[in-house]
């Protein structure tokens, strides 16, 4: 009997290809039976290759109805065919239709991505820490300047401004003149003093001259 191709489904997940297959079936009127029940040994052979690589085919044999193809290149299109194999009869069935599916990222992060993320994180930390520190310091000084200024308002002005004005005169009147005590002081310059001394000496000379004249008259 001719063994037909199995039904195959392929799903790409995490850098691998999940392959599910079933059949082939024997049909009788409205009923279907898997041919696997009529043979003592039954395997499935999975053939896969990279699309456009001149069909460098790799094959895997399995007794199960599913298989995970791993160790594949990420973001690469692979094509798959499946056939039934009967080892004791050395017989193979027809190949299924060719199914092609692209693999996704394999979940392994490249080294250059890790290094880039690490360097970027370090740069962010180095820049953000000084910025946060100086921003906090500026806000602290600004808050302190607003709420706790360094200038202290004089106490007497505080008291003066805290009292409401009782009249038009805000300051106490000046002391009355009679309450002031003072002494009279006369200032004589040096030139005036010399002039007085000369005048006194001339007056004394004149007096002596008059006395001498009177003495002569009395003698005569």
State pLDDT tens for residues 10-26.
998 888 899 998 888 87
Q: What is the pLDDT of residue 220?
A: 46
Q: CA–CA separation, 176 vs 136, rounded Å?
A: 60
DSSP state of 181: -
Confidence of residue 40 (pLDDT cuts 50, 70, 90): confident
Q: Is 25 left (phi over 0), alpha (psi -120 to 50) or beta?
A: beta
What average pLDDT does range 3-10 have in this prediction? Answer: 90
Confidence of residue 83 (pLDDT cuts 50, 70, 90): very high
Q: Where are the domains of the chain?
A: 7-103, 109-146
Task: Report whether pLDDT(155) > 90.
Answer: no
CA 83, distance to chain mean position in Å, is 59
User: Tens digit of pLDDT for each residue in 167-196?
Assistant: 545 555 554 555 556 666 676 666 655 555
Contact assessment for residue 72 and residue 48, using Cβ atoms and an 8 Å cutoff: no
Q: CA–CA separation, 138 vs 144, rounded Å?
A: 10
The residue count for the chain: 220
Q: CA–CA separation, 34 vs 37, rounded Å?
A: 6
Q: What is the pLDDT of residue 48?
A: 93
Enter the pTM of the model: 0.48
Task: Select the more confidently predicted residue: 105 or 58.
Answer: 58
Q: CA–CA separation, 219 vs 184, rounded Å?
A: 52
Contact assessment for residue 109 and residue 96, using Cβ atoms and an 8 Å cutoff: no
Task: Select the more confidently predicted residue: 184 or 69.
Answer: 69
Least confident segment among 41-50, 81-90, 140-149, 199-208: 199-208
May I ask the CATH class of domain 7-103?
mainly beta
Q: What is the pLDDT of residue 3?
A: 83
Confidence of residue 27 (pLDDT cuts 50, 70, 90): confident
User: Tens digit of pLDDT for each residue in 156-169?
Assistant: 766 777 776 655 45
CA within 13 Å, CB half, 197: 7
């Amino acid at each position: 009997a001719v063994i037909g191709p199995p039904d195959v489904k392929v799903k790409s997940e995490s850098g691998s290809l999940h392959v599910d297959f079933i059949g082939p079936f024997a049909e009788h009127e409205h009923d279907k039976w898997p041919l696997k029940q009529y043979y003592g040994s039954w395997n499935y052979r999975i053939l896969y290759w990279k699309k456009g690589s001149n069909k460098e085919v790799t094959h895997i044999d399995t007794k199960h109805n599913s298989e995970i193809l791993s160790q594949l290149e990420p973001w690469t299109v692979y094509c798959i065919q499946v056939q039934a194999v009967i080892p004791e009869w050395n017989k193979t069935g027809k190949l299924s239709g060719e199914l092609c599916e692209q693999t996704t990222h394999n979940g392994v992060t490249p080294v250059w991505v890790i290094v880039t993320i690490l360097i970027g994180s370090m740069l962010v930390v180095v820049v953000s820490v000084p910025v946060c520190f100086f921003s906090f310091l500026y806000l602290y000084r600004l808050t302190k300047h607003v709420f706790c200024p360094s200038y202290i308002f004089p106490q007497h002005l505080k008291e003066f401004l805290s009292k409401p004005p009782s009249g038009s005169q805000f300051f106490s009147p000046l002391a009355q003149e009679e309450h002031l005590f003072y002494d009279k002081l006369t200032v004589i310059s040096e030139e005036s003093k010399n002039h007085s001394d000369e005048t006194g000496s001339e007056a004394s000379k004149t007096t002596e001259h008059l006395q001498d004249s009177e003495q002569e008259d009395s003698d005569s």
